[in-house]
Amino acid sequence: MEKYRKEAEQTFDTFCGLLDHIGWKYRADRNSLGISTGASGEDLPMEIVLRFNPAIGRFFLMSQMPVTMKEEKRIDAALVVNEFNKDKKLGAFDLDFESGRIFFKVTQCFVGCRVSEELCSFLLQFSLKFIDDYNDKFLMLNNGLISTEQFLAAVKS
């Protein structure tokens, strides 16, 4: 079922239009309504995938952190992810406890509205900031360079 195909395509086109407008390099697949891109942060590269779901009328911006948490560090990562997510209204980290992979994601509904380039720009910049702020911290936590308490203090500040 692709109940919201027209809206998904319009939102996909708007996001591609923004990326074209700012001269951002990306790969887009109109058939699957997906966009892949990336950016260089202060320290680590950031890969970003956008999926526009015509069945449920939402799009998802996702980025996998460039670290797979060691088994002995996954509870620490879960504590940090929980603390980060508990008061956030937009954006969240997901920890796949079994594999140790961590993802940042933002989702937005596009049903009944016309998504603007301004909203796309805001969501992209918002996501890049959180990904860049936290990807190195997860790596440092995984490698024992910072403690869980230090990471939690950074989340709370």
Mean pLDDT, rounded, for 100-125: 94
Return mean pLDDT, the chain.
Answer: 94
Confidence of residue 2 (pLDDT cuts 50, 70, 90): confident
The percentage of residues in the chain with a pLDDT greater than 90, rounded to a whole number, is 87
pLDDT digits (tens, 9 = 90+) for 116-130: 999 999 999 999 998
Mean pLDDT, rounded, for 54-67: 95
141's CB contacts (< 8 A; 6+ apart) are 69, 73, 76, 77, 80, 147, 148, 151
pLDDT digits (tens, 9 = 90+) for 138-147: 999 999 999 9
64's CB contacts (< 8 A; 6+ apart) are 47, 101, 102, 103
**Is residue 89's pLDDT more than 80?**
yes
